Amino acid sequence: MKVNIQSLEDDLVEYDAELDNSFIDHEIKRFYDHPIKMHVVLDKFGKDYRVDIEIDTLATYTCDRCLAEFTNHFKAQQRQLFHVGYQEIADNEDIILLPESATEIDLSPYLMEMVLLNHPIKMICNEDCKGLCAKCGANLNIEPCHCSGDTIDPRWEELRKFIK
């Protein structure tokens, strides 16, 4: 996703685009398999560019507890500052310096960063998800299984024979 800055006046410009996940060069790419809506507001002032990026999509995650697939809304926003030319403003790590000859700004690395930074560490289909039974593997959201808490240790079962 590149924005042409060659003939831009000092002004506010907005862009809307629908992207696929090809800009995500990372294993988490597979979770973002729906069209990704992008909204960009670019504010140019001389050699400075303030770019506000928003992305919005549906992600397909796998629940950590019950292993079911579920879709979730994914939204992220980020502001990125650019300056054309190598200047004394250095030292400010937040501003990306572009060469004097730059004709476009490639947003792909920032888009990928946004997905990485906002990607959930835990994927839970529902706060109340009961997960899988550790014994029989049944999905407890669908049906309770028969190996509930009151199972008796087989060794006690043996002992019981003697107590009559």
CB of 139 to Zn ion, least distance (A): 8
Work out which of 28, 102, 129, 139 binds Zn ion, going by CB under 5 A: 129
Work out which of 1, 3, 112, 133 binds Zn ion, going by CB under 5 A: 133
Beta bridge partners of 54: 39, 77
Work out which of 24, 40, 53, 63 binds Zn ion, going by CB under 5 A: 63
DSSP 148: -
Q: CB-wise, 136 or 159, nearer to Zn ion?
A: 136
Type of residue found at 13: V
CB of 137 to Zn ion, least distance (A): 7
Q: CB-wise, 23 or 61, nearer to Zn ion?
A: 61
Is the Cβ–Cβ distance between 117 and 109 less than 8 Å? no
39 vs 101: CA distance, rounded Å: 26
Query: Among candidates 55, 31, 28, 27, which has minimal Cα distance to 41?
Result: 55
Query: Among candidates 100, 96, 106, which has minimal Cα distance to 84?
Result: 100
User: Hey, which residues between 22 and 41 contact Zn ion (CB under 5 A)?
Assistant: none
Work out which of 53, 66, 107, 115 binds Zn ion, going by CB under 5 A: 66
Handedness of CA 115, 93, 107, 44 (dihedral sign): positive
Using the rule CB under 5 A, is 5 a contact of Zn ion? no
* Candidate ranges 12-20, 76-84, 93-101, 137-145; the one touching Zn ion (CB under 5 A): 137-145
Q: How far apart are the first and last CA of the chain?
A: 78
Residues that bind Zn ion (CB under 5 A): 63, 65-66, 125, 129, 133, 135-136, 138, 145, 147
